[in-house]
Structure 1
Amino acid sequence: MPDDPSRPISEEDRDTAVRRLQDAYSKGHISHEEMDELLQQALTAKTHGDLAASLASLPEEKADTSTIAAFSGRIRRRGAWRVPRKLKVESGLAKVDLNLARAIIEHPVVDIELQLGTGRAKITVPRDAVVDVENLRTVWKDSYYKPRPPSRPGGPKIRISGTMGFGRLKIRHARR
């Protein structure tokens, strides 16, 4: 949650809160009555403070973070690999190729943090993914990404952040 509890919430914030409540209920952390009450609070919340109050009694979320690191060579993930909630990719000189087209994506939002020195990076996202590169800093060349509307609603949101030195990031949507 942001530092300012009076800041209005977005639909994405509300959806995330509802998913956390449903997950807590399915794991037996809250009763059916608590679920109803907390869902009502989350669905009528206007600010981050209101939303935080509806989630305060839930256990802390476990961080699903993985790091892939290589100084040189190639970092490649493709096929049916499980994508963590947060993926950090660190490289000094390696070429990076992440293909999420057939990957198992269990989270509605996936954060990919790139910490790359030199070399190119290519990320292929699912056809229905929404990509956000607002927090990616490039030193030498801008990233290449041509946004396209999702082919169907409900695809994952892929947020790419971090720093790229002397290389280029190319992002493309899978064809099928």
Structure 2
Amino acid sequence: MTAEPARSSARMRASDADREAVVEQLREAAAEGRIDMEELDERLNLALTAKTYGELAPITEDLGGGPAARDTGEPLTVRGGMHKVRRTGGWKVPARIVVSGGLGGALLDFSGAECRLSVVELEVDAQMGGVRIVVPDGWGVDTDGLDLAFGGLKSKVRGERAPGAPLLRITGSCGAGGVRIRRPGLRERRRKR
């Protein structure tokens, strides 16, 4: 069940923010000397004309996301069971996260997390308990690959992605519990100080 959203996401239409994230990654690679100017031009042209995620992915595949993003290992797995599971505070965000709501639900709070990636892949299976996500100001959120199922999606995230800020690309299923996304509230802002 979890492999299907990942497979179909390659055919999903890429947004302007997705293309801009790839362009930024290419510019960083050129600045670090990992690609030359001629190759930068070629790849920029491909990035700016890409229509799907599947066309974008190969453009930076051999770059690994820059020095801060090379820790690609296993995805972080967060599983709710009978009780709610929380990922909050100062944690390091990996390139890929898999979260399951179980019966008690799951909370992913990115407001105090350290993230040096341009794109974070988040695969959800909300199940009965649902998944709650707190996204810092300026971060972009892409939910086009999310199956709304019974629980649906409620997002309070508005506004454009800030230059250089991460894009959280959410795929998977809202299940019966649903997926809720919001910006940090007063509690999270106080905790961050």
1:155 counterpart = 2:161: no
Higher normalized strand content (fraction of residues): 1
Q: Give CA deviations for 1:49-98 in whole Å, capped at 9, x if unaligned.
A: x9889768x47776452222243322211111111111111243231111
Does the 8 Å CA contact 1:17/1:55 hold for their aligned counterparts?
no
Give, in whole Å, the separation in 1 of the partners of 2:14 and 2:99.
32
| Corresponding position of 1:39 | 40
1:1-176 paired onto structure 2 within 5 Å: 12-13=18-19, 15-16=21-22, 19=25, 22-23=28-29, 26=32, 30=34, 35-45=36-46, 47-48=49-50, 58=62, 63-64=72-73, 65-150=75-160, 152-175=162-185
Q: State which drifts further: 157-166 or 15-24.
A: 15-24
Q: Cα 1:43–1:68, aligned 2, differ >3 Å: closer, same or farther?
A: same
Higher normalized helix content (fraction of residues): 2
Q: Cα 1:84–1:71, aligned 2, differ >3 Å: closer, same or farther?
A: same
What SS does the corresponding residue of 2:133 show, helix, strand or coil? strand
Q: State which drifts further: 59-68 or 142-151.
A: 59-68
Does the 8 Å CA contact 2:22/2:56 hold for their aligned counterparts?
no
Percent of paired sites with the same residue: 27
Give, in whole Å, the separation in 2 of the partners of 1:170 and 1:54.
32
Aligned residues: 167
Q: Cα 1:90–1:51, aligned 2, differ >3 Å: closer, same or farther?
A: closer
Does the 8 Å CA contact 1:100/1:124 hold for their aligned counterparts?
yes
Q: Cα 1:108–1:93, aligned 2, differ >3 Å: closer, same or farther?
A: same
RMSD value, Cα: 3.7
Could you tell me which runs of 5 or more consecutive residues in structure 1 were left unpaired when the two chains were aligned: none
